Structure 1
Amino acid sequence: MTDIPQLDEASFRAPDPDQLFPRAHSGHPARILLLYGSLRETAYSRLMVEEAARVLEKMGCETRIFHPSGLPLPDDAPADHPKVAELRDLAMWCEGMVWSSPERHGTMTGIMKTQIDWIPLSPIGGVRPTQGKTLALMQVSGGSQSFNSVNQMRILGRWMRLLTIPNQSSVPRAWTEFEGGRMKRSPFYNRMVDVMEELVRFTLLTRDIKDHLVDRYSERVETREELSKRVNLPNAI
């Protein structure tokens, strides 16, 4: 069982408990970015993130809500488009995210997907905007309860290398759960608070060690191979 000839010993690294459990954490408030997926005048996904932002701020977080009106379709404008630049700057700034989408035609909205598609996986200034950061998912539905949108966003969160928390929120018949632009007190509201509470915990627990959590053997191999080509080191494998 100890014979692993395909393993690059120089790149292999066992998890270090001292890195997983640091003695001190950054003292600044957790920075959370909230995205929503509708441009309707009364957008329950937007009202939902506004409620979530209030809860997060009550928990001591710093929040930003990105308003997607004016965001172009992916690849239909340059990356320095003002709305694209704003979104990417916020993605770099945050330590965790909340995604809230309606369910339309059995899936998340194109508006929600457009925002995610504009956030690159490749590094910006040497830093990946999403890798190792936390993510909470919520959806609103006009009819009976469904989990289509949150399930699809969970796949996207994994693809974006986000630490997607286990809990999630799905609000059915959303038009009955809001009054005067505010979410009513209900089990659905309580669940939203649960999700934000879990998001904050995961963010505080992981933000100082996120680089260690997503440190990958395969990427170390690639880096070592690239370095060996540049400085004439022995081949990595």
Structure 2
Amino acid sequence: MSDPSLPNLDASLLDVPSLDRLVPAAPSRHPPRILLLYGSLRQRSYSRFLTLEAERLLQRLGAETRVFDAAGLPLPDDAPAEHPKVQELRALSLWSEGQVWCSPERHGAMTAVMKAQIDWIPLALGAIRPTQARTLALMQVCGGSQSFNAVNQMRILGRWMRMLTIPNQSSVAKAFEEFDEDGRMKPSPYYDRVVDVMEELIKFTLLTRDIAPYLTDRYSERKEAAAALEARLSIGAAAR
């Protein structure tokens, strides 16, 4: 039934959000699957140390984790998508239900290593979206005073990749002072914040993973699908 106050709306394709559909009938019981990416290839990499610290916390919180090693990953468009490291990264993104991105801040921005990993994960692979509706937590390490340039940039990218980027984030100032010789993070308010972020990531992942298809079911896409179906039916009728 058309609404004269909304003449541009196809009311037959409008889905009024329902609380019932936001509560899964049979919630998944498997551990949340979390992929972690970090943005440095240095031998003593503080972004890697922070990522591994986050992984330990996620495992303690009941998650199944994978950390991607970007060594050997080619620059975007410098190799075919069939490159083994590209295929590994894309497979891990599809496997994941949530992700952690951790980058150093270099020249006031995320590193090229971090950006290359994100650029190799496409918004869509045919009908599959490797990042859509996955949760995302963001962290950065700083060589000097605390900054938020890298996490802010990654937040923009997370939205672009249609991810559910959690509100909390971590930025570790003077990272060289925050880790011991074995690469373990020292007790500090920075460590406590990392715990906060990982707890929040698991909570958001558990809340959203079973209803991701509903959360990302869009009016515009339903309209496009209906138009495509109508066109196919018209072509079929004309062929008969």
Q: TM-score, normalised by structure 1?
A: 0.95
SS in 2 for 1:183: coil
- The one-letter amino acid paired with 2:107 is H
- Equivalent residue number for residue 194 of structure 2: 192
**Per-residue deviation at 1:148?**
0.3
Write the mapping of 1:85-164 to structure 2, written as runs, cut at 5 A. 85-124=87-126, 126-164=127-165
Q: Counterparts of 2:101 and 2:195 in 1: how far apart (Å)?
A: 14
Write the mapping of 1:198-209 to structure 2, written as runs, cut at 5 A. 198-209=200-211
Q: Counterparts of 2:79 and 2:156 in 1: how far apart (Å)?
A: 26
**Per-residue deviation at 1:210?**
0.8
Q: Counterparts of 2:228 and 2:161 in 1: how far apart (Å)?
A: 24
Structure number having the greater helix percentage: 2
- The one-letter amino acid paired with 1:84 is V
- Equivalent residue number for residue 166 of structure 1: 167
Deviations 1:62-96 (A, max 9, x none): 00000000000111111110000000000000000
**Per-residue deviation at 1:23?**
3.9
Matched, 1:76 2:67: no
- Equivalent residue number for residue 50 of structure 1: 52
Equivalent residue in structure 2 for 1:13, among 8, 12, 15:
15
SS in 2 for 1:202: helix
- The one-letter amino acid paired with 2:203 is R
- The one-letter amino acid paired with 1:33 is L
Deviations 1:128-176 (A, max 9, x none): 1000110000000000000000000000000000000000000000000
SS in 2 for 1:209: helix
Q: Runs of 5+ in structure 1 lacking a partner?
A: none
SS in 2 for 1:76: coil
**Per-residue deviation at 1:2?**
6.3
**Per-residue deviation at 1:122?**
1.2
**Per-residue deviation at 1:205?**
0.5
**Per-residue deviation at 1:123?**
3.1
SS in 2 for 1:56: helix
Q: Counterparts of 2:137 and 2:176 in 1: how far apart (Å)?
A: 22
**Per-residue deviation at 1:17?**
1.3
- Equivalent residue number for residue 238 of structure 2: none
SS in 1 for 2:227: helix
- Equivalent residue number for residue 61 of structure 2: 59
**Per-residue deviation at 1:33?**
0.1
**Per-residue deviation at 1:232?**
2.1
SS in 2 for 1:199: helix
Farther off after superposition, 140-149 or 221-230 = 221-230
Q: Counterparts of 1:133 and 1:8 in 2: how far apart (Å)?
A: 29
- The one-letter amino acid paired with 1:96 is G
- The one-letter amino acid paired with 2:45 is A
- The one-letter amino acid paired with 2:175 is A
Amino-acid identity (%): 64
Runs of 4+ off more than 3 Å:
none
- Equivalent residue number for residue 224 of structure 1: 226
Q: Counterparts of 2:4 and 2:25 in 1: how far apart (Å)?
A: 33
Q: Counterparts of 2:125 and 2:4 in 1: how far apart (Å)?
A: 36
**Per-residue deviation at 1:228?**
1.0
SS in 1 for 2:195: helix
